[in-house]
Amino acid sequence: MIDAFHRTEGDINFSPARQDWYALIRNGETARYLEEDERYFLHQSMSTPCLDVLHACQGIYLTDLQGRRYMDFHGNNVHQLGYRNAFILDRVKAQMDVLPFSPRRYTNEPAIALAARLASLMPGSLNRVLFAPGGTSAIGMALKLARIVTGRHKVISYWDSFHGASLDAISAGGEREFRKGMGPLMPGVERIPPPETYRGIFKGDSDLLYAEYLEYVIEKEGDIGAFIAETVRNTDVQLPSQAYWKKVREICTKHGVLLILDEIPIAFGRTGHMFAFEHYGIEPDIVCLGKGLGAGVIPMAAMVTRDEYNIATDVSLGHYTFEKNPLGSAAALAMFDYIEQNNLLEKVHADEIFMREQLQALQQKFPVIGDVRGRGLLWGIELITDEKTKTKAVKESELVMYECLQNGLSFKVSQGNVLQLSPPLTITREELQSALGILEAALSKVFSSQHQVCSSI
């Protein structure tokens, strides 16, 4: 059965609407490569079978085998600086010619410079760094470190949270889709409800009560070493209030629980600040970074923590072959330079104002838009069929997505009904306008032919 539960993380690759999409694009070479992909890769939710076959990318665009171009408003959150950004590529190519790999027992200049750069960008004593080849591994290191620092093994997370796909990360995470059928997981995980931020940009501190769940579980359960959460949930753009995060920080400090913030998809200017926690005036104890850290070129992730937690000298927290990766470090250093030299954070602030105005205007036109919320260039548009019950417009959201795809705009649908828009931060105003035009046309088409639409599912 295909229901909203299957759609927490993103759109799915086995729905009738996906089959309709294949009828449109599955021909010639595309068909042949999609078949080969399906022949050789293990099939899994949300990848094989795949959406299309890519050939190239540049700036905000992906180009497929047939020359069809998509503005990429998803980019797996690696594309803050767009694709094939020449500034990044030059620096990575230069590093490639000198030292492309560094065996674990050695260190190297770019890795040290990147660790120092991260430390300089973080507040307080957050100046100790470990690198990893991917976000999931950074989460694993953070969970281990929290056990060592606190001497307690239990962790609290949100229901429905995602922190990576490995067994430790799905144990700590809360998405049923990733845990189902997996058998025994890592013990000692308690989950609390995530703060509800529907109507996020209009509301005050009504989510503050959710922070009380955290204290309740810490006190009732005992042995809690860490609370792990995304500062802002990326997939369906949940923006807790400042009061919520301040309260959470206070509770964690009071009980000696480490606050681990997962900013893997949302750092490096996505929300208008270098790091999302800066919006809230709080300091985490551990921050996990990844995705865009490698500037859309090299896989790269990091865990940053407090100087005083540099105590696990006889433990391997992250024994990764590609730990101090010089190429990933060169890409990340170039990424920070590019953001600074191009005043990208100021640009994103201005884009946020533009997006808010445009999306609120769209909401006036389409009653099916129950909520628009966002910060920087991270926006969620929630489609509902009934304002009172907040019934999710699941089928319609998927149709809007495929209609946009057909017209050159790619994004993900989260929770079944949240259109998530996260374009490269380098996007021009004209490109943003053009993307919003495609979205508006798709909403018009799907919601003016509602009857027809529903009968085709």
Ligand X SMILES: Cc1ncc(COP(=O)(O)O)c(C=O)c1O
Residues that bind ligand X (CB under 6 A): 134-136, 139, 162-164, 230, 234, 262, 264-265, 290-291, 301
Q: Which is nearer to ligand X, 147 or 270 (CB)?
A: 270
Which residues does residue 414 pair with via DSSP β-bridges, in sequence order? 418
| CB of 299 vs ligand X, minimal distance in Å | 7
Closest-approach residue to ligand X (CB):
135
| CB of 48 vs ligand X, minimal distance in Å | 16
| CB of 368 vs ligand X, minimal distance in Å | 27
| CB of 291 vs ligand X, minimal distance in Å | 6
Of residues 440, 442, 451, the one with CA closest to residue 365: 440
Q: Give the C-alpha separation, 115 to 119, whole Å.
A: 6
Tell me if 400 sits within 8 A of 443, measured CB to CB. Answer: yes
CA distances in angstroms from 216 to 155, 213, 224, listed in the order given: 14, 5, 12
User: Tokens 């009828």 appear where?
Assistant: 23
| CB of 162 vs ligand X, minimal distance in Å | 5
Q: Which is nearer to ligand X, 192 or 368 (CB)?
A: 192
Q: Which is nearer to ligand X, 102 or 231 (CB)?
A: 231
User: Tokens 């992906």 appear where?
Assistant: 62
| CB of 163 vs ligand X, minimal distance in Å | 5
Radius of gyration of the chain (CA): 22
CA 26 to chain centre: 29
| CB of 341 vs ligand X, minimal distance in Å | 26
Q: Can you say whether the dihedral through the CA atoms of 356, 163, 260, 213 is positive or negative?
A: positive
Token pair, residue 347, equals 């640009």
Tell me if 208 sits within 8 A of 240, measured CB to CB. Answer: no
| CB of 9 vs ligand X, minimal distance in Å | 8
Token pair, residue 371, equals 């909520």
Phi, psi (deg, nearest 5) at residue 416: 85, -25
Q: Which is nearer to ligand X, 287 or 446 (CB)?
A: 287
Q: Which is nearer to ligand X, 102 or 238 (CB)?
A: 238
Q: Give the C-alpha separation, 371 to 422, whole Å.
A: 16
Q: Which is nearer to ligand X, 318 or 370 (CB)?
A: 318
CA 80 to chain centre: 11
| CB of 157 vs ligand X, minimal distance in Å | 11
Q: Give the C-alpha separation, 346 to 52, whole Å.
A: 35
Three-state SS letters, 241-277:
CHHHHHHHHHHHHHHCCEEEEECCCCCCCCCCCCCHH
435: exposed, middle or buried (Cβ count in 10 Å: 0-12, 13-18, 19+)? buried
68: exposed, middle or buried (Cβ count in 10 Å: 0-12, 13-18, 19+)? middle
Q: Which is nearer to ligand X, 65 or 419 (CB)?
A: 419
Q: Which is nearer to ligand X, 75 or 370 (CB)?
A: 75
| CB of 288 vs ligand X, minimal distance in Å | 7
Q: Which is nearer to ligand X, 174 or 370 (CB)?
A: 174
Q: Which is nearer to ligand X, 215 or 285 (CB)?
A: 285
Of residues 329, 339, 260, the one with CA closest to residue 94: 329
| Structure letter (DSSP) for residue 363 | H
| CB of 233 vs ligand X, minimal distance in Å | 8
Q: Give the C-alpha separation, 110 to 95, whole Å.
A: 9
Q: Which is nearer to ligand X, 265 or 318 (CB)?
A: 265
